[in-house]
Structure 1
Amino acid sequence: MRTLLLISFILFCSILYGQSYETIELLNGSFEGIPGAQRVPPGWYDCGKIYFNKETPPDTQPMDGFDWSVAYAASDGMTYMGMVVRDNDTWEFISQRLASPMNPGKCYNFSIDLMRSDVYRSASRSDESRIVNYITPTKLRIWGGNGYCQKKELLAESQLIDHNTWKQYDFRLEPKSIISSFTLEVFFKTPTLIPYNGNILMDNASHIQEIPCETEVLAEVPKPIKPKPQVKPTPEPPIEPEVVLAQPEPDNQPVPRKKIISGLTKNNLVVGQKILVEQLYFKADSSAIGPGSFAALDEIYVFLEENPNLYIEVGGHTNGIPDDAICDKLSTDRARAVATYLIEKGINDERISYKGYGKRQRIASDRTRYGRAKNQRVEIKILSLKA
């Protein structure tokens, strides 16, 4: 019996250790290069050339003594990458082709050191006569695609980076299709209707390591990194503070005390009326309802429960940037998600229909972030008030 168990154990170990997991090597993950403004480290491509050709490229830091006054020591090597978001609704991202593709059905681990500089001075892009500090917290988004800067799949995103020391972030990547390009993008807090100025520093990006899909990776959990001695920035004269209109955190209580959705009043309803569903959030390019949305959805549910004669249509809308087919699908999927939530809560499905209008009923200009946010919405349309 012991001999049989020993043979089985040896066979198991040979199978286990015989498995090999691929390592996809990134070029210059330490972002080594000559420090300088508008200088992308070798191995990386500036995506602003494609999307924002009037904006300058990211910077290789540190650059103490220059306008930016970024003086932190690198967490790995000598230099690191600095990227910003701007108050004219532009932002920076970099990309490179992968030596070998990431494949669907497989899982990967990727880590990178992140921080925010407390000093990142430059002119405001919305008013170039003002020098402002680009320090409002931002986040990192990781995209996969099949060409430089293509944002085919959002593979992962970090929490808001608001700390001024290096911390390591680990991400689990599970591509749904073949991925041959890798893009790192700094982005605004979402949802935010008014763009702002912020920065993120990046260093020590790991290779992309295939892992067993059963392995758990704690994504977005920062690991403190022992800091290197830092050079204190040269004291700067007082600068004009930047005013950023912060969005209030959504109320997550299931039944709100105050009305969230204006117009949801029985006495004022008429057939054909459209009511905007406020405080409804979706994940980017997805129909997955965000956790801050359920207070508004529950308010609709309670209203429908109290008014059993009410029949509605849930209408989804998008901004006009993507292709028609993408807009139609996304708006339909989001409308369906809202209708499904209400039906699963207990509303008769005969009382609820849904429709995706794509970008055919825009209510604002797509030239600004504010306008695009207004266009991307879900509305409730009153179809019938049966007795």
Structure 2
Amino acid sequence: MSETNNELLAALESADQIKVGDVVTGEVLAIDNDNQAVIGLHTGEEGVVPAREYSDDRNINLADELKVGDSVEAVVISNVTSDKEGVAYLLSKKRLEARKAWENLSFAEGDTVDAKVINAVRGGLIVDVNGVRGFVPASMVADRFVSDLNQFKNKDIKAQVIEIDASKARLILSRKAVAAQERAAQLAEAFAKLTVGEVVEGKVARLTDFGAFVDLGGVDGLVHVSEISHDRVKNPADVLTKGEVVNVKILALDSEKGRISLSIKATQPGPWDKVAEEAPAGTVLEGTVKRVKDFGAFVEIFPGIEGLVHVSQISHKRIENPSDVLKSGDKVKVQVLDVKPAEERISLSMKALEEKPEREDRGNANDGSASRADIAAYKQQEDDSAATLGDIFDGKF
């Protein structure tokens, strides 16, 4: 064979040789039991496209997508030649589409783009931007800490392009700046609609040790732990659950700081609402001493309702220090003196239920004073004395 013919054959063989990175087009020969498409190539060899290299959809069934005879364009990932099965290649339709997307990139660093969240992983979100796979680090997902990234899965988001490196197929995005802008716009809209004092419906978005954040339709307001219930609440999670729908009252709107203060307990009947009706002045009740102060004792007469027994109302006897006669936990009977539900104040008395002692003799030598009885007795004594002397000295003067 001439040298020219040898060079021609070598060129033809070289032209038919498939290399990693080549784009090939083949015909679907079968869909095997491993959910792979077997592709017949122009060289007479075969390639396979696994489901994972066909689409990002992990649940895809290639039998529903392809049929025998369909034409498939893919990129060669590797040569998987074996002695038993001969020459075969691992192909990827998904990566070819990504390559084309990179070649036709229509955005630059700093642009805000629409992205589809494909998956949530430990470090952030994997997204698709017009066929280009990108990554949103967890610290750039929102303008506040997000504990559950799965809430973004399969959702469309807007994000800002932070870094593009086509040679490494690297695309980094941030939703944080966009989220801050969106929140500012939502807050402005909310402040224009909401009014201090009105009651609105919301959904518990997240719980913390100090309260609950309630979603009012795109913006969150805080229900401080002290505003959750009329009863004492130690942990908001004990009485509220995430996703629960609640009625809240707008307590304050701070547009400068972007804060909305809410109250759940303000929408519920309070223990003081029926106090004036159930315990008017003169009512006798049994209560428990909760706290003892220098000026008196606080006694709980209903759950969550405490009244003050002033030191002057503890006893008819003079009390220097309430703690000398009362301690926390004591059960006592009290009489209602005055009720002011609007001020959440109720005045109580213990001495009103005690029998008022008779006035002690004021002729006691200790105080140097004389009672009326003493004065009367003294006068009588004077009269008696005078009569006796008159009798004694009668007729002698």
Give the TM-score normalised by structure 2: 0.21
- Higher helix residue share: 2
The structure number with the bigger radius of gyration is 2
Give the TM-score normalised by structure 1: 0.21
Larger RCO (CA under 8 A, 6+ residues apart): 1
